[in-house]
C-alpha cells in the first residue's frame, strides 16, 4: 500500500504529496467540527484525568494557536492522529506550548506523530514563533531537537526532566527562564 499525504487547499504551504509507508492520509487544520473526535482520541490515548494535568491549567480558557492544530485522517475519514498548540509565556516572552499530540493506538509507530511534529514546527517558525516548550518523554522528543530546559518551571506537579524546549531561531531560549504562565489576551508570536 502507498502512504500518500493529501494536503488541503486551505493549507497551501502543505500542498504536496508524500509517500513513506502504508496508508493514505489527509492532513488538515483542525476545525470546530473536529472537536469531539479530537477530544475522544485524546481520551483514548491518555490516562483518565488528563485534563487535570498541570499543562491543562495553562490551556484552560485560552484559544489554541489554530493554524498549528492539525488532524490526520485516513482514506475513510477516520481520525488517526492530532496535534494542538497553545501560547504561553516564560519570563514575559512568548512561547509555543506543543501538545497534546496523540496517535490512535492502532497506528502508533508508523511515523504519524513524527509527521505532525515535522509539519507543524516549520509552520510555527514561518508564523514567527521562536521557541517551543512541551512536557513529555525526552527519549521521543529529542529526535526533533527538544532538550531539557533549565530554569523553566511548569506548574506543579511536573517532573522537571520532562520540561523540554526547542529553539526555532538560534539562541531563542537563552536567558528565557522562570515560571511558565498562562497567556493573557493575545500572545503575538516571537
Ligand X SMILES: CC(C)(COP(=O)(O)OP(=O)(O)OC[C@H]1O[C@@H](n2cnc3c(N)ncnc32)[C@H](O)[C@@H]1OP(=O)(O)O)[C@@H](O)C(=O)NCCC(=O)NCCS
Contacts with ligand X by CB under 6 A lie at: 45-46, 100-103, 108-114, 136-137, 139-140
Nearest residue to ligand X, scored by beta-carbon proximity: 113
**What DSSP element (H or E) covers 122?**
helix 112-127
Q: What is the 3-state secondary structure (H, E, C) of 35-83?
A: HHHHHHHHHHHCCCCHHHCHHHHHHCCCCCCHHHCEEEEECCCCEEEEE
Nearest to 112 by CA among 1, 2, 5: 5
Nearer to ligand X, 108 or 158 (CB): 108
CB 58, min distance to ligand X, A: 15
In whole angstroms, what is the distance from residue 57 CA to residue 51 CA? 8
CB 112, min distance to ligand X, A: 4
**Burial class (CB within 10 angstroms; exposed 0-12, middle 13-18, buried 19+) of 67:** middle
Nearer to ligand X, 74 or 91 (CB): 74
CB 46, min distance to ligand X, A: 6
Nearer to ligand X, 101 or 163 (CB): 101
The three grid cell numbers given for residue 19, joined into one nine-digit string? 509517500
Nearer to ligand X, 90 or 112 (CB): 112
CB 141, min distance to ligand X, A: 7
Number of H helices, E strands in the chain: 4, 10
Nearest to 45 by CA among 84, 98, 101, 114: 101
Nearer to ligand X, 3 or 91 (CB): 3
CB 36, min distance to ligand X, A: 18
Amino acid at each position: 500500500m502507498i502512504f500518500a499525504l493529501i494536503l488541503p487547499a486551505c493549507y497551501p504551504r502543505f500542498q504536496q504529496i508524500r509517500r513513506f509507508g502504508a496508508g493514505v492520509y489527509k492532513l488538515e487544520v483542525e476545525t470546530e467540527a473536529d472537536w469531539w473526535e479530537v477530544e475522544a482520541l485524546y481520551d483514548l490515548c491518555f490516562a483518565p484525568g488528563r485534563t487535570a494535568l498541570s499543562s491543562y491549567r495553562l490551556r484552560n480558557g485560552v484559544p489554541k494557536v489554530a493554524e498549528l492544530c492539525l488532524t490526520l485522517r485516513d482514506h475513510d475519514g477516520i481520525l488517526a492522529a492530532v496535534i494542538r498548540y497553545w501560547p504561553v509565556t516564560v519570563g514575559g516572552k512568548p512561547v509555543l506550548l506543543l501538545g497534546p499530540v496523540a496517535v490512535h493506538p492502532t497506528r502508533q509507530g508508523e511515523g504519524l506523530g513524527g509527521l505532525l511534529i515535522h509539519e507543524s514546527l516549520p509552520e510555527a517558525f514561518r508564523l514567527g514563533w521562536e521557541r517551543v516548550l512541551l512536557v513529555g518523554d525526552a527519549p521521543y522528543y529529542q529526535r526533533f531537537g527538544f532538550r531539557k530546559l533549565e530554569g523553566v518551571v511548569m506548574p506543579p506537579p511536573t517532573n522537571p526532566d520532562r520540561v523540554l524546549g526547542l529553539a526555532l531561531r538560534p539562541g531563542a531560549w537563552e536567558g528565557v527562564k522562570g515560571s511558565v504562565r498562562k497567556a493573557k489576551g493575545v500572545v503575538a508570536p516571537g
